[in-house]
Amino acid sequence: MIVAVSGINDTDNPGPGIGVARSLKESDASIKTVGLSYDVQDPGNYMDFVIDKSYLLTYPSRGWEPIYSRLLYIKGTYGLDAVIPTLDAELPQYIKYQDELAAAGIKTFLPNSKQFELRSKENLKEVSETIGIVYPRTKKVYNIDQLTEAVKEIGTPCIVKGNYYKAYKAGSVPEAVYYFTEISNEWGFPILVQEIVKGEEMNVIGAGDGEGGVLGLVAIKKMTTTSLGKIWNGVTIKHERLLSVAESFVKSYKWRGPFELECIVDGDNIIMIEINPRFPAWVYFATGAGINLPKRLLDTMFGKECDRDGEYEAGVMMVRYTYEIVTNIHRLSTLATKGESDG
Amino acid sequence: MRAKNLAINQNGFAFDPDTGESFTVNETGKFVIEALSKGMDEKDIAEALVKEYDVQEDEALNDILDFKERLGLYGLLS
């Protein structure tokens, strides 16, 4: 079995790819992993204990055709049975063309376009209501006048965020204007102004079988984060209401594929922050806690019955750390000139 | 009561499996939390503390009330 994963940028702002590949390898040593990389310097290209072979791809902004051709090339030369894309920017294309991939003999297990749109912040209010939680007071704005009015109405500090990406805490109207400009220049409109809610941030990783069934869920609390807000240390928790909300999300929308729910929890009050339609970068944490979601996803992808046991212990701790690989620059030059590692 | 779910080890490290929060309590703090979890009231706990430690009952009772207030501030009595 040969499985490709993207997001092998295992940096201080890590992609989920290495956690996915590591989970698969630990579940079955015969699985070969292919790293789909957008940068020769992605650490995953050199982590040959997790990634068997890597290939450089053109950025998703160049369209589907170069990605599709590259995947066909990999299938033809090295072999490729399945792809697990993990980066936000590439997901829309993989979702749109998943049937084309299937026809070429490359399996995926992704939400459909309608499900994918649920995570748009414009739709999160409705999703929150459906699964019985709260969505923070939010105003959609398209220009500075609307922004100023919204910030005054919601009060400061508030969150200024893009519809899909980026979120900043603004302490004043000028600061809000600054972030409005920054986000809209990069990601367009609408921009959302959102109230700040009190409570503890808790996250759930999970996967759905597309028929309303849950492949597994693990809830965690981030204990420390980096300056970019990425988890560094975390602990598994058993917040029953939060887990039942995640289950309700999968059932209500017949969610297909991996996801992460980001919530603020204040007692029994759960407030929706974000839904990520992919594995988070801390996916291996759940594997370490006993719920190997990448393996369960792969089994489901191939129509195999998979382990759906939801039991894990609260109090399992994850500690991220840094490490160095010292290697010959020949490996970088091979990747840069041939577009693929020796493998 | 959330305090009832706390997992407290022998060193006094208390972990709340619902929220992931952790606390450190000393030996008497651990004693009081465990007693509260069993449903004992403050007076019974004070009497138990007097038997176990070198302390007067009224002093023990005041300390328990003070400690309970702190537990409440952390939301552990809800």
pLDDT of residue A340: 97
pLDDT, tens digit, 9 for 90 and up, residues A279-337:
999 999 999 999 999 999 999 999 999 989 889 999 999 999 999 999 999 999 999 99
Q: CB-based contacts of A1: which residues, under 8 Å, 6+ apart?
A: A28, A30, A31, A32, A81, A82, A298
pLDDT of residue A162: 87
pLDDT of residue A166: 81
Tokens 């400009």 identify what position? Answer: A181
Buried b (16+ CB within 10 A) or exposed e, A295-304: bbbbbbbeee
Mean pLDDT of chain B: 92
Q: What's the CATH number for A2-109+324-338?
A: 3.40.50.20
- Do B78 and A267 count as a contact with CB atoms less than 8 A apart? yes
pLDDT of residue A325: 96
Polymer length in residues for chain A: 343
Describe the strand order of the beta sheet including A32-37 as a list of residue ranges. Answer: A53-56, A32-37, A2-6, A82-84
Are A236 and A219 spatial neighbours (Cβ–Cβ below 8 Å)?
yes
Buried b (16+ CB within 10 A) or exposed e, A25-36: bbbeeebbbbbb
B9 and chain A: CB distance < 8 Å anywhere? no
Helix-, strand-, coil-residue percentages of chain A, each rounded to 5:
35, 25, 40
Counting one residue from A and one from B, how many pairs have CB atoms under 8 Å apart? Answer: 35
DSSP strand pairing (A2-6 vs A32-37): parallel
- Most A CBs within 10 A among B5, B8, B19, hence the mutation to make, goes to B19
> Is A137-195 a CATH 3.30.1490.20 domain?
yes
Give me the tens of pLDDT residue by residue for chain A, a chain 343 residues long: 999 999 999 998 899 999 999 999 999 999 999 999 999 999 999 999 999 999 999 999 899 999 999 999 999 999 999 999 999 989 999 999 999 999 999 999 999 999 999 988 779 999 999 999 999 999 999 999 999 999 999 999 999 998 777 889 999 999 999 999 999 998 888 999 999 998 999 999 999 999 999 999 999 999 999 887 889 999 999 999 999 999 999 999 999 999 999 999 988 899 999 999 999 999 999 999 999 999 999 999 999 999 898 899 999 999 999 999 999 999 999 999 999 999 7
pLDDT, tens digit, 9 for 90 and up, residues A237-280:
999 999 999 999 999 999 999 999 999 998 889 999 999 999 99
pLDDT band at B78 (very low <50, low <70, confident <90, very high): confident
Are A121 and A161 spatial neighbours (Cβ–Cβ below 8 Å)?
yes
pLDDT of residue A209: 97
B20 and chain A: CB distance < 8 Å anywhere? yes
Bridge partners of residue A221, in order along the sequence? A202, A235
A159 and chain B: CB distance < 8 Å anywhere? no
Q: How many CB atoms lie within 10 A of CB A266?
A: 13
Distance CA A172, CA A155 (A): 9
Are A173 and A149 spatial neighbours (Cβ–Cβ below 8 Å)?
no
Distance CA B53, CA B67 (A): 17
Distance CA A38, CA A55 (A): 8
Domain map (residue ranges) of chain B: 2-73
- Most B CBs within 10 A among A239, A264, A268, A317, hence the mutation to make, goes to A239
Q: Nearest-CA neighbor of A281 among A36, A16, A25, A89?
A: A16
DSSP strand pairing (A2-6 vs A269-276): unpaired
Closest chain B residue to A234, measured at CA: B20
pLDDT of residue B1: 83
Q: Nearest-CA neighbor of A269 among A236, A235, A241?
A: A241
- Do B20 and A238 count as a contact with CB atoms less than 8 A apart? no
Average pLDDT of the residues in B13-22: 93
State ipTM: 0.78
Domain map (residue ranges) of chain A: 2-109+324-338, 116-122+198-319, 137-195
Express as a percent the part of chain B with pLDDT over 70: 100
A250 and chain B: CB distance < 8 Å anywhere? no
Token pair for residue A124?
A: 């999160």
Q: CATH number of the domain at A116-122+198-319, out of 3.10.20.30, 3.30.470.20, 2.60.40.180, 3.30.70.860?
A: 3.30.470.20
Are A120 and A135 spatial neighbours (Cβ–Cβ below 8 Å)?
no
Phi, psi of A88, rounded to the nearest 5 degrees: -55, -45
Express as a percent the part of chain B with pLDDT over 90: 83
pLDDT of residue A287: 98
Q: Nearest-CA neighbor of B13 among B3, B32, B26, B4?
A: B26
* C-alpha distance from residue A298 to each of A24, A31, A223 (Å): 8, 11, 30
Closest chain A residue to B2, measured at CA: A267
